[in-house]
Every structure is written in C-alpha cells, then in structure tokens.
Amino acid sequence: MSDNQTPSPSMAGMPFADVSDPDPDRNLARVGPDPLADAFLEKFTIHAGQAGPMLSGTEAGEAYRARLVSPGGPLAFYVHFPFCKGRCLFCGFAGKSPAGGLGESYCRAVASEIEHLARATGPRGPARTVYFGGGTPSSLDPADLSRVLSAVRSCVPLANDCEITLEGAVHDFTPASMDGFLKAGFNRFSIGIQSFDTAVRRGMGRVLSGDEAAARLSEVCSLDMAAVVIDLIYGLPGQTPEVFSRDLEVAAETGLDGLDTYQLNVFPGGELESAAKEGKVPPPVPLSGQGRYYALAWERLGRKGFRSLSLSHYARSSRERNIYNPWAKRRRDCLAAGAGAGGFLAGWASYRRPDPKSYVDAAARGEFAPDFVTAPPSSGAIISFIVGEMEEGRLDLRELVSRFGPSPDALARLLDNWVEAGLAEIRDELLTMTVAGRFWGVNLTQAVVETLAAASGS
Ligand code: SF4
C-alpha cells in the first residue's frame, strides 16, 4: 500500500507548484520562538519542483516514443497496481477504484506493456531499482506478480544488487504469500502501517488491530530474507503525541530495516475532511501542530539507532538503501508500466490514467501510449540537483554555483531569513537544515527553485 500522502512512487502525474508568478515574500519564514509551528502558514506544494509544458493525445504519444529510443544508462522501473480492498480515509489517490477479480488479466496486460517497452526501447540499463507500487500490489496473487517481474527482467537487465520493492498492506503478508513474493524475487517490502494504535487505525479504515499489525510485521522481519520498511503517518485523527511516540517505539521493536514518517495531508473536499466535519472522527492535527511530531520522530528514531536518508526516511540496517524515491525525485530515467503509472525519460514525465479496466481494454488493442507527458522545465538539471540535495536536508552552495552558475546573491535574502528563523545553518557554503527546516523542507526547496527560476528569467 502506498500512503498516498507524500511522496507517491508515481510522482510523474503529480502537480508541481505554479511558479509562473511567484510571490518572493511568500518564501520568507516568520521569525519567532517556535519555527516548527510558526515558520510558515502552509506547505506550498506536496512535491517541490517545476514542470515544463504538457502534451496530450497524439503529441504525447510521439514525444514519448522519441524518448524511448534515446540513449540511456542506468534506470529505474516502476509498475503501478491500483488495487485496494477498501479505501483509507486519508487517501488522496484520485481515481482509485477497487478492481475485484481483475488481478490476473491486469497483470497479463502489464506484462504485455512491458514486452512492448522492450521492443520499443534501445539498449538500456541496468535497472538499479524496480518498484511495484500502488494501490496495493500485495493483494494480488504472487504468481501474477511473478509474471510481471519476469517481464521486467526480460525488458532490461537488472543490476546484481537491484532493489526490488513490493508495496503492500500488512494483512497481505501471510507466510504463504511471503513465500511466493520471495520466490518471485522481491528483496524489499514496503508496508503501509500508518499507526499501531487500534482506535486510530480503525478510524482510518484499517483492517487489523494495532497488535495484529505489529505481530504480522514482526513475523515478516523475522524471516530475515529481505529489507522491510514501513510508512507511519503523523497528525491522524486521535493520534496524540503520546500515541505517535508509542507508534515509534512499537515500530522499532519489530526489527524492521527502515521507515518513512509522513505528515498527514487533509485534501480539501476529501473524505477525511468531511468525516471530521461531521464528527465521525476527531479533528486531524493541524499543520501548526505537526512539526512537534516530526521532531519527536527525529529524536526517538535517532536514539534507537536509525539514521536519516532523506527528509522523511530513516534506515537502521545496511540492508535498507531507499534507492527508488530519491531516484524519482531527481527525475532520473524510469520506465513505467500499468494504469496510473508515471515515469521519466530524458527529463520528460509520462503518465497513464489509473482506471484498471480501461487499461486492460487498451492493452488488448495494443495501445500503450501515455495519456499525457510534460516536457522538462527549461532549467531541469539545476532543479534536479536542488531537489535531490535538499531532500537530504542540505544544499552545497559552492557546488550549486560552480556547476550551474547562478549568482550567489540571488539566494542571499532567503538564506539570511532562514538562518534568522532557525530553519537552516550555513557553514563553509554548505546549507544544513535544522529539524524545523527539515519539517518545512518542501517549502525551502520550492523557494530555492522559484527564486533561481525567477533570477534566470525561466
Ligand atoms: S486506499 Fe489504497 S492507495 Fe489509498 S492509502 Fe489506502 S491502501 Fe494506499
């Protein structure tokens, strides 16, 4: 399962902030006693970055085909499975539709799309990371997933140490299905937990109790056959800091290799917002209160021996490498297949609509063109550099200037403000985000992108 809060493995279709008319003062933080709560009034976007012009229809198909045959080196491979047994209250995954009984035909259709890709691309690879995301791919028959993974293997060579991830819901990871997933070749399991608190879980529509989820997760970890990572969300209805603190403790006790902590996004007009307004669930934690949870995770996980790999991701063992998400955030080459899948080639993003039935019908007609593509932004290389660096809570200003040539003065006002507001420290031309800066990291990243785009006139 994907938390579908942030970041989505299928990020190509996600909107980036509109930077056509940026307000430079929006990017200045408020200076006050509690930057975790008060530095900004909002998060400007879910994914920092900038997209170029969008093409659809025939133009999209032609642009995509041209990129498929462009020369390429290492890449990622993403396969999307829009299959969920129910709908979680917090999910903002537009167009998700449970697709009962369609699993086998869907996997055959995906395998045929991958065979089509193999014929259409020039020599490519190796693939450094393969990601089966969704949706809930773990709900499908391991034999069907194995067929799709075999198709990926025959499309591109996989690196010997290729990270091969299967996303899923914890109740799907039974001893029998685990056997099938491991035999298929998955070496990393990304499991959506969100909280171990039974009341919080039930409020969000989760199947297992907190204790059952922890026990199942411990069983998966105890096999010691693959990296196991989970998602936790903070800010859920009824999830007090004490509940979240317990979530972190239980997670650490299960023996997992890594975890993501994502903030809750309440989508306007979404089911969670309606349920809270109607009093069906307690009010979610507002943005001004979420920073406290972020800092709690930073402190508790550090104490437990987890190290930070990105603004939201922590690893405890050397088995966990977290290759896919940073790869996609940098918009590096990623072939993609399946309904709702998004990929990148030569900076171009491609996206398919997420309805699995239409996808299967189109595959039967041999139609695999994306529904739309976006061209790279004019300053794509510098944006990828900024997003990649700042996702790790840092920005090497010296390298930024020497590689891409922006005037250091362009960022001076911002950086001075962020240091004063307690969001960043700068030493020897290296910006390092504080814990509060990391919580507001997407704003800082978007601000640097917007400011340099405005300074360059792009
Ligand atoms: S509804 Fe499906 S995609 Fe959305 S959060 Fe739940 S499991 Fe993930």
Query: What residue owns the CA closest to ligand 1's atom 1?
Result: 87
The number of beta carbons lying within 10 Å of the beta carbon of residue 174 is 13
**How far apart, in Å, are the Cα atoms of 26 and each of 40, 165, 319, 396?**
9, 38, 40, 23
Which of the listed residues 83, 90, 91 should we mutate to test ligand 1's pocket, taking the one with most ligand atoms within 8 A of CB?
A: 91
How far is Cα 199 from Cα 192, in angstroms, rounded to an integer?
A: 16
Domain residue spans of the chain: 24-49+379-456, 54-329
The answer to whether the peptide bond before residue 22 is cis (omega within 30 degrees of 0) is no
Residue 3 has pLDDT above 90, yes or no: no
How far is Cα 149 from Cα 359, in angstroms, rounded to an integer?
A: 18
How far is Cα 275 from Cα 205, in angstroms, rounded to an integer?
A: 12
The answer to whether the CB of 340 falls within 8 A of the CB of 10 is yes
Residue 99 has pLDDT above 70, yes or no: no
Q: What is the mean pLDDT of residues 218-222?
A: 98
How far is Cα 190 from Cα 168, in angstroms, rounded to an integer?
A: 6
Ligand 1 center–CA 194 separation, angstroms: 11
Identify the pLDDT of residue 327.
94
How far is Cα 370 from Cα 67, in angstroms, rounded to an integer?
A: 12
Helix (H) or strand (E) holding 155: helix 142-155
Half-sphere exposure of 89 (CA within 13 A, CB side): 23
pLDDT-based confidence at residue 93 (cuts at 50, 70, 90): low
Residue 458 has pLDDT above 70, yes or no: no
Ligand 1 center–CA 263 separation, angstroms: 15
Identify the pLDDT of residue 98.
54
Identify the pLDDT of residue 430.
97
Percent of the chain with pLDDT over 90: 74
**Nearest atom of ligand 1 to the alpha carbon of 87:** 1
Non-local (6+) Cβ contacts of 113 within 8 A are: 337, 338, 363, 368
How far is Cα 409 from Cα 407, in angstroms, rounded to an integer?
A: 5
Q: Of 457, 453, 346, give the one whose Cα is nearest residue 70.
A: 346
Positive/negative CA dihedral, 387, 257, 294, 427: negative
Percent of the chain with pLDDT over 70: 92
- Of 123 and 108, the structure prediction assigns the larger pLDDT to 108
Which of the listed residues 10, 87, 208, 264 should we mutate to test ligand 1's pocket, taking the one with most ligand atoms within 8 A of CB?
A: 87
Q: Mean pLDDT, the chain, as a whole number?
A: 90
Q: What is the mean pLDDT of residues 208-226?
A: 97
Which of the listed residues 93, 190, 272 should we mutate to test ligand 1's pocket, taking the one with most ligand atoms within 8 A of CB?
A: 93
pTM (2 d.p.): 0.93
Ligand 1 center–CA 243 separation, angstroms: 22
Query: What residue owns the CA closest to ligand 1's atom 6?
Result: 88
Token pair for 396:
């090497």
CA 313 to chain centre: 10
Query: What residue owns the CA closest to ligand 1's atom 7?
Result: 1
The answer to whether the CB of 19 falls within 8 A of the CB of 13 is no
Residue 227 has pLDDT above 50, yes or no: yes
How far is Cα 457 from Cα 362, in angstroms, rounded to an integer?
A: 42
Lowest mean pLDDT among 1-10, 344-353, 395-404: 1-10
Amino acid 88 reads C
The burial of 242, by beta-carbon neighbours within 10 Å (0-12 exposed, 13-18 middle, 19 or more buried), is given as exposed
Residue 1 has pLDDT above 70, yes or no: no
How far is Cα 289 from Cα 198, in angstroms, rounded to an integer?
A: 22
Residue 358 has pLDDT above 80, yes or no: yes
**Nearest atom of ligand 1 to the alpha carbon of 4:** 5
Token pair for 259:
């975890």
**Nearest atom of ligand 1 to the alpha carbon of 2:** 8
Q: What is the mean pLDDT of residues 202-214?
A: 93
Ligand 1 center–CA 35 separation, angstroms: 32
Phi-psi region of 278 (alpha: psi -120 to 50; beta: other; left: phi over 0): alpha
Domain covering 54-329: architecture: Alpha-Beta Horseshoe (3.80)
Pocket of ligand 1 (CB under 6 A): 1-4, 84, 87-88, 91, 93, 96, 134-136, 169, 192
Ligand 1 center–CA 420 separation, angstroms: 40
Token pair for 85:
């047994």
pLDDT-based confidence at residue 377 (cuts at 50, 70, 90): confident
Ligand 1 center–CA 325 separation, angstroms: 18
Tens-digit pLDDT profile for residues 120-169: 887 788 999 999 998 899 999 999 999 999 999 999 999 999 999 999 99
Identify the pLDDT of residue 97.
54
Non-local (6+) Cβ contacts of 320 within 8 A are: 188, 227, 229, 257, 258, 309
pLDDT-based confidence at residue 87 (cuts at 50, 70, 90): confident
Identify the pLDDT of residue 13.
37
Measured CA angle at 416 (ends 412, 419), to 5 deg: 140
Lowest mean pLDDT among 45-59, 313-327, 411-425: 45-59
Token pair for 369:
């063109």
Ligand 1 center–CA 252 separation, angstroms: 23
Q: Is 367 helix (H, G, I), strand (E, B) or coil?
A: coil
Q: What is the mean pLDDT of residues 182-192?
A: 98
Residue 10 has pLDDT above 60, yes or no: no
Which of the listed residues 2, 6, 81 should we mutate to test ligand 1's pocket, taking the one with most ligand atoms within 8 A of CB?
A: 2
Ligand 1 center–CA 190 separation, angstroms: 13
**Nearest atom of ligand 1 to the alpha carbon of 82:** 3
**Nearest atom of ligand 1 to the alpha carbon of 3:** 5
Identify the pLDDT of residue 326.
93
Q: What is the mean pLDDT of residues 316-329?
A: 95
Q: What are phi and psi of 50, to 5 degrees?
A: -160, 140
Tens-digit pLDDT profile for residues 267-320: 888 889 999 999 999 999 999 999 999 999 999 999 999 999 999 999 999 999
Identify the pLDDT of residue 2.
44
Q: What is the mean pLDDT of residues 71-99?
A: 78
Ligand 1 center–CA 183 separation, angstroms: 25
How far is Cα 160 from Cα 127, in angstroms, rounded to an integer?
A: 9
Ligand 1 center–CA 397 separation, angstroms: 38
Identify the pLDDT of residue 22.
56
Non-local (6+) Cβ contacts of 395 within 8 A are: 386, 389, 430, 431, 448
How far is Cα 356 from Cα 103, in angstroms, rounded to an integer?
A: 9
Q: In what order do the strands lie in the sheet with 394-396?
A: 394-396, 430-433, 424-427
Ligand 1 center–CA 135 separation, angstroms: 6
Beta bridge partners of 158: 127
Lowest mean pLDDT among 1-15, 129-143, 335-349: 1-15
Ligand 1 center–CA 418 separation, angstroms: 35
Query: What residue owns the CA closest to ligand 1's atom 4?
Result: 91
Maximum alpha-carbon separation in the chain: 61
CATH for the stretch 24-49+379-456? 1.10.10
